[in-house]
Structure 1
Amino acid sequence: MSHIAHVREMDERPQMVKDHLLDAKKLAELYGEKFGMKYVSGLAGLLHDLGKYSNDFQNYLKQALEHPDNPPTRGTVDHSTAGGKLLFEVLHEQREKDLFAVLTAEIAGNAIISHHSYIHDYIDPNLETPYIKRVKEKELSEYQLCKKKFFEEVMSEKEFNQYCMFAKKELEEQFQKIDKMKYAELGTFLNKCVFSALIDADRTNTREFEEDCLGESLISKPDIMKVFYDRLMEKIQSFSIGENVQSHINQLRSQMSEECDKAAEKPSGIYTLSIPTGGGKTLASLRYGLKHAINEKKDRIIYVVPFTTIIEQNAKDIRQTLKNDDLILEHHSNMMTDDSEEEDDDWHAKSKRKLALAKDNWDSPIIFTTMVQYLNAFYDYGSSNARRIHNLSNSIIVFDEVQKVPTHCLSLFNMSLNYLSQFGSSSIVLCTATQPALNFVQENLNISSDAEMISNLNEVTAAFKRVNLIDDATKSQIDTIQLSDKCLNILEEENNLLVILNTKSAVRKLFEQLKEHISNDVSIYHLSTSMCAAHRKDILENIHDDIKNGNKIICVSSQLIEAGVDVDFNCVIRSLTGLDSIAQAAGRCNRNGKLATKPVYMIDHVEENLDKLQEIAAGKEITRKMLIDMKNDPELFNGDLLNQDAITHYFKMFYKNQEHKMNFHIPKLDKDMTELLTALGYQSTIFRAYKSKNNSLPITAMSTSIRTASKNFAVIDQPTTSVLVPYKEGQDYITQLNSQLKIEDISQLFKKIQHYSVQLYKHELDKIIENEGAIHYIDGEVLVLKEPFYSYESGVDIEGTGGLSDLMI
């Protein structure tokens, strides 16, 4: 009897179980080799679908093919436990005295049993052992048959045992690099990476079979980094021509770019790049990344940013510089939900299956993504998130505006960077004008004292001084009407003005107030995360044109404009907040240094409600105290609030204030997420609690609760949902969603529609659905906003009173 793993939709050609297992093994080995786990990952690929050798699965598949309109019930055949059970039997039960044999069985086996859901807990909060229940206690009636067929068709028992020893040896080599007290933490990250390699190998091989291009991913790709580096240097050399080339600012930019080039010759590690705002850090960091990639043979450069606006601006600049669109990937958000609970069989919901197989694995030479997506890859629930982790290995990862790491995720962030640096062969660049003190926290970053790429930082910062900070915040508070009057008065003198406030409601209220009082010769703009990326891009282009043409304008924005957005206003008003945000706001004023020193006013807006924005409130109070201290001692920080010493002082105070939040506390469990992920044997409370309850020790080496942790993880306290909006070309993409698309077509379409999506909080989405303002596409997997619920002036309108004709751009 032939044993079939999949049947291709277009021509009903079968893929044999043997072929799928061996192909997945090759891909998993390729992915796993980057983080030192070639054979452990290969084991996972080799055994993940072992259960498809069962008669039950073959009959299930036959029924699904013969009755496509009425297939068998989802999840009726378990085909993922058998592989984990075989590893448990060979490595765990037979070699219990060998810690690394046990760990090999657990790490590879857990990936196998979880490949249609997410990594199982070893001990969960109820003191149960989900992993053991699957691999040891669950009865599989045809397990012996599956094992027999595997050794007959795929690999002999002798070869398999030898392969297991290769896996055990490489795992042992990884653990020998660290102190035993860090074993559980390393085990968690290796679990995640092997799981990632398996998910990507399985889905990639299945996609290639579906599209009749098997082996495509195994073909070596041409090294594009040298071509990109030459194009970048051609661009940089063009800066040496022009009337302003000898200016002090341009000479400093050139000097810092050269220092980044020199830093690229250092070995892989964690480095800081503290170029002042307007100092050209995008191209300087790219110069480091491309040269380092050439020298160290890195696979890709990944830019991780806090806001999608930075992606839009930086990706555009780099595309133009490198003269390439196809090899630069922007990943803003997940348009499709990833909430499968358990077995997700291949023969149900074809649209959903296509979405799952579509490439979303960060396999590009240059990638732009957000901090949310980076943290989701490591810590959030769902196989689509985890699929990307292995491609973070052997990479250069540039964290642009790294000071925006959410405080409650800080320990998790540092843990991931330490792992990638030590075990993933990756180089990390912490890039910002306001460098946070990440090595002054409890779960500190393993960063060397000579990590900074730029020399003489205080002198460089002083040379880039283009603004005067004016403290109106500690004098008195101001309301919306008073602020509107202040804006109009400043506008008469400065011609263009940017106002940045702490809350979207305050931004919207000031915008409406100004609209009622500005004269016809003034343009007013509103920037908000309620707008899709394409919409914000159009507004920013209009702002650029107005400033260039000398038109009078006011832009009212939330903090999204503060980082990475290349705008150059004559004056900025910033609502009092953390010093890092004050510095970033100042970077939008006199950005190119063409004018004399210009004013940045700090105000205290009385109508901002920061009750739910506790980090902003905390940062605001620290900045206020520093302003008062400087009034009492004008020489403090050399009289400059934007001095590097002032920035370091601010972050030390801020992290001390927020120390209790850094380990991602989970209130309903009364545990920190870091504890769930680093539980180490006798040292952990959960291990001792298990022993007390069961009067015996758990039989696993690992005692972490990886699935529980992931299900309780959210970068943003209030989860959001991606919604596609009908803005300009977005309407055409919405139409395409209804057509019959191939898997690769879906991949390409989803890259485009990211620019036409908006993240909505649950209460916003509930209101829109209540007002019948959204439609589901692709079997309910993609949510699309109806036209009246999107405004060309302000973005999403949850009441449906907008429409696309209210302000055409």
Structure 2
Amino acid sequence: MYIAHVRQLDKEIQTIKTHLLGVQRLAEQFGEKLGLKHVAGLAGLLHDLGKYSDKFQQYIDIVAFHPELPQPKRGEVDHSTAGGRLLFSLLHHKESTFCEKLLAEIVGNAIISHHSNLQDYLSPEIKSDYLRRVQDTNLPEYELAVERFFQDMMSKEELINYIHVAVDELEQFINRTPTQSFFVTKYIFSCLIDADRTDTRSFEEQVEAGEPTQHLLLFDGYYRRLMDHLAALKERSDASEPINVLRARMSEQCDVFAAERPSGIYTLSIPTGGGKTLASLRYALRHAGKYNKQRIIYVVPYTTIIEQNADEVRKILKDSEHILEHHSNIIEDDPNGRGDDDEADDGIITDKEKLKLARDNWDSPIIFTTLVQFLNVFYAKGNRNTRRMHNLSHSVIVFDEVQKVPIHCIALFNEALNFLKQDAHCSILLCTATQPTLEEVKHSLWKDRDGEIVPNLSEVAKAFKRVELIDQTEDPMTNETLADWVKSEINEWGSTLIILNTKRVVKDLYEKLKDFPVPVYHLSTSMCAAHRKEQLEEIRGMLDQQDPFICVTTQLIEAGVDVSFKCVIRSLAGLDSIAQAAGRCNRHGEDKQRNVYIIDHAEEAVSKLKEIKVGKEMSSYILARFKKKADQYERNLLLPKAMSEYFRYYYNRMEVNLNYYVKKLDKEMTKLLMSLSQENDYVTHYQKKHGASFPLLLNGSYKTAAEHFQVIDQKTTSVLVPYGRGKELIAQLNSGAWLEDISKFLKQAQQYTVNLYSQELEHLRRDNAIVVHLDGMIYELKENWYSDEYGVDLKGEGGMDFIGF
């Protein structure tokens, strides 16, 4: 009896055969969604072949059953290389077909990497980690392990027959482009990782996999509840007002479009305050029901939008169980982690291993997540990220405020969406009042022709006009002059929202205003999500009272947060940011018209914040043109004409920044991942160095790319903070009680974390303010370092405040 795992609780054994068959079954289910059932299943069949060796069996016997003996080093037995080597030996020789070789490379890389990151086929050092593993690594008992596999699992003939089916699937699927090859490799890797973790977790927790969710029945019920809600809105006394009639019409247009148009990449450019959340939900539910989609995923830039939109959707659909909010990764990758060639799975499920096995795979029917998490699925290191990828297929994916995609990730974002549309059967909806021109850049987005759901956008935008933009940028303001101005006008203006570009000036202005006789609020990404949510609830209460008050914040409030102030002051930024800020003023048309003031702040240090700096310059250019030729813009800078012009100028100016550039390697990320052999200078160097052609079809530097990728320019770490229920969660963490239901704990903890830059974390460490759990996998902030006023009590610039970690 060959052992794969030993349960910690009762020393029950899971055999290798049972585990391989379990993982194969799940991987086949996941792969079948793209017509790659046997390709993914093959990875499941072979991934732990190396556990058939005597060395591994002796190792697990000592660790599990003989604690009195000297204990071997954890993970010292390489059990993942053997399966990849077997596949390479069977399929990768001169007589092999293109797809046989490709199958060996794609599936083999997934197998050898299933406890690390995908390996480089060819690295910047002109080495192939993949070839080294499948050809050169010393595996003394490789033949023995293969012999036992064929005795215990299946015959060699049965495996060859299975491989032939997998080759046929790949032949049908692949179009031989390097872009697609990268995403297919990632997809198969995702299927294997999730299948392996799910089967291991089921064994450890002694649970059978539950019945799959009946998505279509669920979506049908949701659709009926949404329609009941919309019908109730039509019965309200204000339903006949022109704005509400227009909202209802746009909602109906979404319904018709969802049913009539097949899956593709479409835009929904409803103006701010036009009911975008419900209209996009109507599209998603209708389209999912008509075209048999498995999941609806909302991707947003800021966690503030997740909290608000998820709450709204839960109330309307009357369901909490099936709606997942995924804000951040509470668990950090093991900082001392094993090297990529070390084996994390040694068959014993420790508390740290339970963390890795916790359900974090996006298998809920409706998911709210962030742009950072979405991009991490495709490009970041860490198996938890990749594990989720296969669950993106057959989905309706709604990108809320899509203009907030970080500029250096534009090319990568577009390539991922093109794959999801073309190969993963997704329908993608780009929602924003400020639609970016992503189809006009290099690595362009394949938007569908005539893909805007709402016709006559200019006329619709004019009907929604509720504010006047007032250009006050001629004389730059300091916080001193800004505070004096606000104090002198606040009683006239009423509730006033001030949005500035950096946390430092926001906090400084708050300090200058907070002793003023009217209430003053401060919002910051230094606050955890639950803290911000409570602050926003207080602010909404103040807005209902109609009394003058002030809110000072960064741009976290301007994308999708449903608040309506009498007056807004926006520090000069990109025109899309100005338009979004304007959407927080007179949002529901309470008054005929209100003012939004654009100022030039003299004290913001944005020279190193290129996106803000260039956005300001392009907006200044548009404002200057508007002063001279307002008629060219129909006398309204918030109409689509001005916005399209702004984005064309902006992307043209930022062209060299659109494709993620790895400075250390002097290489664009797409070249690391998706280059053709004849265009890859690494291949040229390899051929010169070895005097022979490069022996592989694929040449991407997948591992190198993942190690260099991060959506935020500075690395951040999630820290659990002592605010509200966060104190209870910290108490559970310290007691160990949370281990009873890790998934539930992690889900709750997301609301009580703050993402800290590395310099902030180091500052807190020096002050002894950080408590580390499980060798650095979870961080806790001590109570004295969290303020009810500011959140994490640190000073600093902060940068872009992009908080969707």
**One-letter identity of the residue aligned with 1:769:** R
* C-alpha distance in 1 between matches for 2:230 and 2:348: 53
User: Which is worse superposed, 486-495 or 658-667?
Assistant: 486-495
Is the contact made by 1:737 and 1:778 (CA closer than 8 Å) also made in structure 2? no
Partner SS state of residue 630, structure 2: coil
Match of 2:11 in 1: 12
Decide which moves more: 440-449 or 572-581: 440-449
Check the 8 A contact 1:36/1:424 in 2, yes or no: no
1:399/1:744 CA distance change after superposition, 3 Å: farther
For residue 346 of structure 1, report the CA deviation from its aligned partner.
Answer: 3.4
- Check whether the contact 1:74–1:348 (CA below 8 A) recurs between aligned residues: no
| CA deviations over 1:379-427 (Å, ceiling 9, x no partner) | 0011111101111111111110000001100000000000010000111
Q: Which residue of 2 aligns with 1:420?
A: 420
Correspondences of 1:194-205 after superposition (within 5 Å)? 194-205=188-199
Q: How does 1:123-272 map to 2 (within 5 A)?
A: 123-176=122-175, 180=176, 183-216=177-210, 223-265=217-259, 266-272=261-267
- Please tell me whether the aligned partners of residues 436 and 644 of structure 2 are also in contact (alpha carbons under 8 angstroms): yes
Equivalent residues of 2:5, 2:348 under 8 A apart: no
Change (3 A) 1:68 1:640: farther
Which of 675, 682, 706 pairs up with 2:702? 706
Question: Letter of the aligned partner of 1:291 in structure 2?
Answer: R
- Check whether the contact 1:205–1:214 (CA below 8 A) recurs between aligned residues: no
Kept after mapping to 2: 8 A contact 1:123/1:704: yes
Residues 1:582 and 1:794: Cα distance change in structure 2 (over 3 Å)? same
**Partner of 2:799 in structure 1?**
none
Aligned match of 2:298 = 303
C-alpha displacement at 1:777, in angstroms?
A: 2.4
Aligned to 1:538: 534
Does the CA contact (< 8 Å) of 1:768 and 1:799 recur in 2?
no
Q: Deviations over 1:475-534 (max 9, x none)?
A: 210100110012122311122100000000010010000013x11xx1110000000000
Going from structure 1 to structure 2, the CA distance change for 1:764 and 1:462 (only over 3 Å counts) comes to: same
Assess, with a 3 A threshold, how the Cα gap between structure 1 residues 674 and 31 changes in structure 2: closer, same or farther.
Answer: same
| Alpha-carbon distance, 1:643 to partner | 1.1
Separation (CA, whole Å) in 2 of partners of 1:478 and 1:196? 51
C-alpha deviations, 1:208-258, integer Å up to 9, x for none?
011111343668677311111111111111100122100110011001100
3-state SS in 2 of match to 1:635: helix
Aligned counterpart, 1:803: none
Report the secondary structure of 2:595's partner residue. Answer: strand
Where 1:264 maps in the other structure, the secondary structure is helix
**Contact between 2:295 and 2:364, CA under 8 Å: does it hold in 1?**
yes
Deviations for 1:708-727, whole angstroms, at most 9, x for unmatched residues? 00100010111100000000
Matched, 1:102 2:98: no
TM-fit CA distance, 1:550 = 2.1
Aligned to 1:747: 743
2:543 equivalent among 547, 568, 572: 547
Tell me which amino acid in the other structure corresponds to 2:439.
N
Is the alpha carbon distance of 1:52 and 1:253 closer, same or farther for their aligned partners in structure 2, counting shifts above 3 Å? same
Q: Is the 8 A contact 2:672 2:700 kept in 1?
A: yes
Residues 32 and 42 in structure 1, CA contact (< 8 A), matched pair in contact too: yes
Matched, 1:492 2:491: yes
Equivalent position of 1:807 in the other structure: none
- 2: CA distance, partners of 1:743 / 1:170: 41
CA contact (8 A) 1:311 1:330 kept: yes
Give the aligned residue type for 1:345.
D
Which of 649, 657, 662 in structure 2 is aligned with 1:661?
657
The AA in structure 2 aligned to 1:660 is V
Kindly state the Cα deviation for residue 743 of structure 1 after the two structures are TM-superposed.
6.1
Deviations 1:748-805 (A, max 9, x none): 11111100000000111111110011111244311011111000011001389xxxxx
**Partner amino acid, structure 2, of 1:441:** V
> Per-residue deviation at 1:641?
0.8
Is 1:614 matched up with 2:610? yes
Question: Which of 672, 677, 699 is matched with 1:676 structurally?
Answer: 672
Counterpart secondary structure, 1:552: coil
Aligned equivalent of 2:575: 579
Read off the aligned partner of 1:776 and give its amino acid letter: V
Q: How does 1:759-778 map to 2 (within 5 A)?
A: 759-778=755-774
Q: Where in structure 2 are the equivalents of 1:231-630 lying within 5 Å?
A: 231-265=225-259, 266-338=261-333, 340=337, 341-342=339-340, 343-346=343-346, 350-473=350-473, 475-516=474-515, 518-519=516-517, 522-630=518-626
Aligned partners of 2:12 and 2:349: how far apart in 1?
19
Query: 1:726-805 maps to which residues of 2 (within 5 A)?
Result: 726-741=722-737, 745-798=741-794
- Between 327-336 and 343-352, the greater mean CA deviation after superposition: 343-352
Once structures 1 and 2 are overlaid, which stretch shifts more, 543-552 or 570-579?
A: 543-552
Would the alpha carbon gap of residues 68 and 189 (structure 1) be closer, same or farther in structure 2, given more than 3 Å must change? farther
Q: Does 1:87 align with 2:87?
A: yes
Deviates more, 1:782-791 or 1:58-67: 58-67
Distance across 1 between alignment mates of 2:693 and 2:19: 38
CA offset digits 1:601-650 (Å, max 9, x no partner): 00000000002211111010100011111111121211111110100000
The 5 A counterparts of 1:108-123 are 108-123=107-122
Inter-partner Cα distance in structure 2 for 1:263 and 1:437? 21
Q: What are the superposed Cα offsets for residues 273-300 of structure 1, whole Å, 9 maximum, x if unpaired?
A: 1011100110111111111111111111
Letter in 2 for 1:396: V
TM-score using structure 1 length:
0.96
User: Distance in 2 between the 1:486 and 1:365 partners?
Assistant: 50
Q: Deviations over 1:180-207 (max 9, x none)?
A: 5xx2111110111110110000000000
CA distance in 2: counterparts of 1:742 and 1:734, whole angstroms: 10
- Displacement of 1:8 in angstroms is 1.2
Q: Distance in 2 between matches of 1:490 and 1:704?
A: 59
1:585, distance to aligned residue in structure 2 (A): 0.1
One-letter amino acid of the structure 2 residue matched with residue 56 of structure 1: K
How far 1:35 moved relative to its partner?
2.3
Write the distance in 2 (CA, Å) between the matches of 1:715 and 1:575: 25
Which amino acid in 1 is paired with 2:425? S
Instruction: Look up the match of 1:806.
Output: none
Go from structure 1 to structure 2 and tell me whether the alpha carbon gap of 1:199 and 1:452 turns closer, same or farther (over 3 Å shift). Answer: same
Q: Distance in 1 between matches of 2:216 and 2:447?
A: 33
Distance across 2 between alignment mates of 1:439 and 1:799: 40
The equivalent residue for 2:644 is 648
3-state SS of 2:665 partner: coil
Q: Is the 8 A contact 1:466 1:598 kept in 2?
A: yes
Matched residues in 1 for 2:277 and 2:31: separation?
31
CA contact (8 A) 2:103 2:170 kept: yes
Question: Does structure 2 conserve the Cα–Cα contact (< 8 Å) formed by 1:500 and 1:558?
Answer: yes
Q: Secondary structure of 2:33's match?
A: helix
User: Unaligned stretches of 5+ in structure 1?
Assistant: 801-809
Q: 1:402 & 1:98 partners in 2: Cα distance?
A: 42
- Partners of 1:75 and 1:694 lie apart in 2 by 34
Unaligned runs of 5+ in 2: 797-805
The Cα of 1:155 is off from its aligned counterpart by 1.7
Amino acid at match of 1:761: Y
Name the amino acid aligned to 1:511: Y
Q: Name the counterpart of 1:804.
A: none
Once residues 751 and 229 of structure 1 are traced to their aligned partners in structure 2, the CA distance between those partners, rounded to angstroms, is 26
